[in-house]
Chain A
Amino acid sequence: MVNGKRVLIIIPALNESGSIADVVGEVRGELPGVDVLVVDDGSTDRTAAVAAAAGARVAKLPYNLGVGGAMRVGYRYARDHDYDVAIQVDADGQHDPRYVPKLVDLLDETDLVIGARFAGEGDYNVRGPRRWAMVMLSGVLSRVAHTKLTDTTSGFRAANRRVIDMFATWYPVEYLGDTVETLVHTARRGYTIRQVPVAMRKRMAGTPSHSPAKAMIYLGRAFAVLTLALIRR
């Protein structure tokens, strides 16, 4: 329980056996009353076993579906088990669970809360095409959602019951669908979105991609995904 609400932390994980135990352990240490569901997205390592040993509930997908598939499993679990709040946290340790109560508090007045970088706290920085993509996404999505959004690709999110119900039946599986398209869809359905500044940490394991070619491709794909999301029903 966080502030009188039943909270489920959903952690989608793909081959994160190196960090998942620490992430689960930290969440359970910082937030004693919440349940943790690790959705193993078809990992080929011991992610599921390590997560279960760390005290998480585990939903193991038979093969890799992508973050979107893993998240829909999480939201469906949250709906079926009657949670008030579902919070998405990355398995690489970038998201600090100490911000969770802050996210939950804001759910009293809004439907979806994003834990956002570049919003005052922390020193997370990107440059080049990747930054242009983020600026473009933030600009367009801020208008769609009628609120200032600075970090639309953040996977650190809290959803209330209404949004849980929606995500349990509808959640895109394609690239950037879990971040960009879900925001467009949520805003279009009339639900309110707000962001809370959070500091992001360095990931505990794994490496981010930094090549300029990949960043350009990212920009192109982000543009395509956004356009599609905007013209979709």
Chain B
Amino acid sequence: MKLTLVTGLTGLILLATIVELLRRRQLREKYGMLWLGVLVIVIPLSLFPRLLDNVAELLGVASGVSLVLFLGIVFLLLVCVHLSWEVSHLEEETRTLAEEFALLRTEIDADRAARDELVRNDG
């Protein structure tokens, strides 16, 4: 009973955290929805840990808890890979921006030099 309390409370606190982050616009919807989806599955399991025992038996896994642990690690790995992918994408975007910025600055410098030259010739 104690364990159920700990896991159940953890699930609810996580849920509250995600909702609060979404409410304060600290989390993009696409990630917020992902984590809410995860919690919708995880919270019932934290309250009733034996829920997956039948599925586990079907797959040859000793217990539902082991199955949850395994699936949890696979899921976290996938999330990490996805985040690496997103970071790579972001790096490419900021790189392009930095390059565009350098080129624009070069054009501005050239324009300014040309204008100064004109002013000098007039004066």
Contact = CB atoms under 8 A, between A and B. Distances in A.
Given A59-B103, A62-B101, A69 B95 contact: yes
A65 B110 CA distance: 23
For chain A, the bracket of interface size reads 10 to 19
Nearest to B96: A72
B4 interface: no
B36 to A, nearest CB: 36
Interface string A63-82: 10100010011001100100
A161 interface: no
Contacts of A173: 95
B66 to A, nearest CB: 37
B102 A72 contact: no
Contacts of A73: 99, 102-103
Given A57-B110, A58-B109, A63 B102 contact: no
B13 interface: no
A60 B102 CA distance: 5
A76 B106 contact: no
For chain B, the bracket of interface size reads 10 to 19
Interface string B94-108: 010011011101100
Contacts of B103: 59, 73, 76-77, 80
Contact of A77 (B95, B106, B109): B106
Interface string B71-109: 000000000000000000000000100110111011001
Contacts of A196: none
A69 B106 contact: no
A159 B101 CA distance: 24
A63 B91 CA distance: 12
Contacts of A59: 102-103, 105-106
A23 interface: no
Q: Closest 10 interchain pairs by CB?
A: A59-B102, A59-B106, A61-B102, A73-B99, A73-B102, A62-B98, A61-B98, A69-B95, A62-B101, A60-B102
